[in-house]
């Protein structure tokens, strides 16, 4: 066999063009199903892992999939907002003890893009989120005040950010003068890598995201002593002032102006895009699910693993389709390979005749041909394996964005 | 010893028949076959090598009646006993000069490429002044050089019989003389029998036996039309 392999190797080297063409065809045919399988397995593992680690998600009624993906991956926006009232409601489920922890999420804004670098999602949440997701600070400290933020490691790496730097939020609509202004946030920490969507997010206090949203704001102090040029109405009797548009709104929260920041309206009505609920007991879990299962409920509560399973059933169908395509491609490649081998045998008939006339058996000649095929298959397998490993280096988020 | 007795071989559609009544060649002797084109010289070499089988008569090499062997036995007989130099060299293009010479080892079921065989291959190439061409592709060689490689390949395993089909056909007189001397010295050294086909009558005196090959091919009885012999027979 050693001699057959040696002669086959020499033949393959001599017929380089033909060998490379067959090698690439075989490699692609092997690579496709292997990669589909590996990537989907990885995707399935990653997506299930995060879903399984998230007990319950609460949000406005509507698409279950959108809400789950939003709470888990900050990907798609749910069709409507829920409110802080639900957080309060969950936190006070039991009058005597803590039955469940509600972690608010307000994920509506992104940071400003830079040339060649897309902006990152801004996640407004509470400190419990970091504990829940086991996120630690690699450099700096946790955000404690409005206007401070911590960035995921990928964001820090991509945008070359360090504690002490600043980052700007991106307004949703640059042409709306009455809309939200960009807020300059101070980076106080960088998170350790978690190999999750948290690595690509900027985390801040939920109040900061409300300030970006315009629900809260800070501006020059307005009282009865304020420069009359800024005021439209100054009533000393009712102690109320009405300012004109010349009042300077703050776009950065600093130690000097933080006291001027305030919110208008009932805090219970402040918006959230989702709430992660961590029940302390099975009883609390059942209680919460029951509360939000009725048709009169103002919000929906879902179990992320169940929703993700629904999604994965779609992935399974895609996988099956990919398998069918791969099998078809494999059959075509095998047929073409058979044709190439057949034509090659005809072209090399004189060579084989020489071998035979020298005393070579038909078995040895068959070994020569099969050795060539074996060598090509081995090389194609190695190539396909290497390509599959390279493909796996793409994060599952790429596939998630492609699929959903 | 090679002995032929009433050996017949019928070509293709049966129009022509080669018939050799009697021929004997002692071991270690050399014979040259001369005759016109299409007289059946190559056919005789192929019959001795067991590539073709006769339709009648007897062809013995030593104690072996070659034509009583089955296909596989004839192939092994050829591999173990016969070194062949073909008319058109039949070298393998994708192998180097050295690997072409070593080819009989690589297709032999019980011979492996040993250091001794490598040295013998080098020595043979050196004797035909191709030592410096060992690593070259045979496609880079001239016709004469290719012929010399083919001869080295035939001699590598020191066969009992060397069959050379016009090995000097593409060589100038000086190189033709040198090749014949090489074939004769190598076969004499190993005690092998050499049978060579040639058109070059100037080489005939080097051989022990001359076989004039102009009366062995005959038209089969009852066939009136003229037919060409077709490829393969000279």
pLDDT tens across the length of chain B (234 residues): 888 888 888 887 777 778 888 888 888 899 999 888 877 888 888 888 888 888 888 888 888 888 888 888 888 888 888 999 987 888 999 999 999 999 988 888 788 888 999 999 999 999 888 889 989 999 999 888 888 899 899 989 889 999 999 888 777 888 888 888 888 988 888 888 999 998 888 888 989 989 887 777 666 665 444 444 333 333
What ipTM score was computed for the predicted complex, to two decimals?
A: 0.80
Q: Do B119 and B125 meet the contact criterion of CB atoms below 8 Å apart?
A: no
- What's the number of CA atoms in the CB half-sphere (13 Å) around residue A186? 16
Instruction: Report yes or no: A175 at the B interface, CB cutoff 8 Å.
Output: no
CATH fold of the domain at B2-228 = Rossmann fold (3.40.50)
CB contact under 8 A, A6 and B49: no
Residues of B in contact with A351 (CB under 8 A): 92-93
Q: Return the residue in B48, B92, B159 with the most chain A beta carbons within 10 A, the one to mutate for interface testing.
A: B92
Whole-number pLDDT of residue A128 = 92
Task: Kindly tell me if the per-residue pLDDT of A294 is higher than 90.
Answer: no
Q: What CA–CA distance (Å, rounded) separates A324 from A327?
A: 5
CB atoms within 10 A of CB B179: 22
Could you identify the residue written with the tokens 């010893």?
Answer: B1
CB contact under 8 A, B90 and A354: yes
Residues of A in contact with B79 (CB under 8 A): 358-360
Q: What CA–CA distance (Å, rounded) separates A70 from A130?
A: 17
The contacts of residue A351 (CB under 8 Å, 6+ apart) are B92, B93
Q: In terms of C-beta density within 10 A (0-12 exposed, 13-18 middle, 19 or more buried), how is residue B190 classed?
A: middle
CB atoms within 10 A of CB B219: 13
CB contact under 8 A, A3 and B72: no
The model's pLDDT over A223-261, given as tens digits with 9 standing for 90+, comes to 656 666 666 666 666 666 676 666 666 677 877 778 778
Instruction: Report yes or no: B51 at the A interface, CB cutoff 8 Å.
Output: yes
Its pTM stands at 0.65
Q: Return the residue in B87, B95, B103, B107 with the most chain A beta carbons within 10 A, the one to mutate for interface testing.
A: B107
List the single residue in B with minimal CA-CA distance to A14. Answer: B94
Q: Which is nearest to A114 in space by CA: A156, A159, A165, A151?
A: A159
Task: Kindly tell me if the per-residue pLDDT of A180 is higher than 90.
Answer: no
Instruction: Report yes or no: A366 at the B interface, CB cutoff 8 Å.
Output: no
The contacts of residue A111 (CB under 8 Å, 6+ apart) are A119, A120, A122, A155, A167, A168, A169, A170, A202
Q: Which is nearest to B113 in space by CA: B161, B156, B146?
A: B156
Q: How far is CA A6 from the centre of its chain?
A: 50
Q: In degrees, to the nearest 5, what angle opens at C-alpha B146 toward C-alphas B102 and B112?
A: 5
Minimum distance, in Å, between the CA of residue A19 and any CA atom of chain B: 13
Find the CB nearest A360 among B95, B107, B112.
B107
Q: What CA–CA distance (Å, rounded) separates A390 from A388?
A: 5
Instruction: Report yes or no: B75 at the A interface, CB cutoff 8 Å.
Output: yes
Instruction: Report yes or no: A142 at the B interface, CB cutoff 8 Å.
Output: no
Q: What CA–CA distance (Å, rounded) separates A264 from A335?
A: 72
Residues of B in contact with A7 (CB under 8 A): 95, 106
Q: What is the CA radius of gyration of chain B?
A: 18
The contacts of residue B114 (CB under 8 Å, 6+ apart) are none
3-state secondary structure of A288: helix
Give me the residues of B, 111-140, that contact A with CB < 8 A: 112-113
> DSSP states of A310-365 as a string?
HHHHHHHHHHHHHHHHHHHHHHHHHHHHHHHHHHHHHHTHHHHHHHHHHT--HHHH
Please give the torsion angle defined by the CA atoms of residues A85, A90, A92 and A96, in that order, rounded to the nearest 10 degrees.
Answer: 180
């Amino acid at each position: 066999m050693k001699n057959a392999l040696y002669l086959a190797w020499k033949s393959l080297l001599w017929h380089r063009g033909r060998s490379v063409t067959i090698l690439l065809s075989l490699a692609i045919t092997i690579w496709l199903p292997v990669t589909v399988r590996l990537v989907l397995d990885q995707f399935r593992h990653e997506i299930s892992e995060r879903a399984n680690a998230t007990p319950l998600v609460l949000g406005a009624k509507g698409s279950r999939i959108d809400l789950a993906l939003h709470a888990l991956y900050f990907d798609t926006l749910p069709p409507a907002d829920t409110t802080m009232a639900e957080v309060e409601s969950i936190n006070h489920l039991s009058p005597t003890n803590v039955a469940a922890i509600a972690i608010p999420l307000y994920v509506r804004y992104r940071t400003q893009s830079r040339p060649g670098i897309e902006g990152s999602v801004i996640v407004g949440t509470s400190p419990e989120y970091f504990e829940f997701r086991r996120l630690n600070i690699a450099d700096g400290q946790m955000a404690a005040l409005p206007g401070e933020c911590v960035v995921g490691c990928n964001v820090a790496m991509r945008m070359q950010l360090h504690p002490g730097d600043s980052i700007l939020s991106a307004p949703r609509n640059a042409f709306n003068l009455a809309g939200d202004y960009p807020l300059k946030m101070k980076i106080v920490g960088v998170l350790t890598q978690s190999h999750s969507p948290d690595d690509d997010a900027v985390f801040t206090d939920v109040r900061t995201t409300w300030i970006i949203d315009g629900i809260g704001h800070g501006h020059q102090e307005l009282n009865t002593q304020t420069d009359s040029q800024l005021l439209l109405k100054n009533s000393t009797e009712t102690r109320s002032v009405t300012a004109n548009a010349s009042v300077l709104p703050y776009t950065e929260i600093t130690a000097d102006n933080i006291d001027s920041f305030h919110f208008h309206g009932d805090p219970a009505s402040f918006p959230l895009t989702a709430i992660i609920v961590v029940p302390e007991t099975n009883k609390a879990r059942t209680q919460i699910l029951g509360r939000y299962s009725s048709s009169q409920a103002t919000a929906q509560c879902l179990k992320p693993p169940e929703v993700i399973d629904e999604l994965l059933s779609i992935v399974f169908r895609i996988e099956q389709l990919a398998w069918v395509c791969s099998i078809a491609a494999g059959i075509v490649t095998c047929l073409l390979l058979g044709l190439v081998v057949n034509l090659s045998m005809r072209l090399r008939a004189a060579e084989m005749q020489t071998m035979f006339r020298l005393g070579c058996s038909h078995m040895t000649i068959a070994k020569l041909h099969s050795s060539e095929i074996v060598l090509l298959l081995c090389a194609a397998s190695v190539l396909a394996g290497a390509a599959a490993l390279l493909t796996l280096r793409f994060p599952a988020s790429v596939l998630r964005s492609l699929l959903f | 010893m090679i002995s032929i007795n009433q050996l017949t071989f019928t070509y293709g559609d049966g129009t022509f028949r080669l018939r050799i009544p009697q021929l004997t060649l002692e071991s270690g002797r050399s014979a040259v076959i001369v005759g016109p084109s299409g007289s059946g010289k190559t056919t005789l070499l192929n019959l001795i090598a067991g590539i073709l089988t006769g339709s009648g008569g007897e062809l013995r090499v030593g104690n072996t009646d070659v034509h009583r062997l089955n296909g596989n036995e004839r192939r092994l007989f050829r591999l173990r006993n016969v070194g062949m130099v073909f008319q058109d060299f039949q070298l393998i293009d994708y192998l180097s000069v050295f690997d072409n010479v070593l080819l009989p080892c690589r297709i032999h079921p019980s011979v492996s490429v040993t250091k001794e065989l490598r040295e013998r291959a080098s020595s043979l190439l050196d004797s035909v002044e191709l030592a410096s061409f060992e690593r070259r592709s045979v496609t880079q060689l001239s016709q004469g050089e290719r012929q010399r490689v083919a001869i080295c390949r035939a001699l590598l395993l020191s066969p009992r019989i060397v069959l050379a089909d016009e090995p000097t056909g593409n060589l100038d007189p000086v190189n033709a003389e040198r090749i014949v001397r090489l074939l004769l010295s190598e076969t004499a050294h190993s005690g092998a029998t050499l049978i060579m086909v040639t058109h070059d009558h100037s080489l005939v005196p080097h051989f022990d036996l001359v076989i004039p090959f102009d009366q062995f091919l005959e038209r089969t009885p009852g066939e009136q039309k003229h037919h060409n012999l077709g490829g393969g027979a000279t």
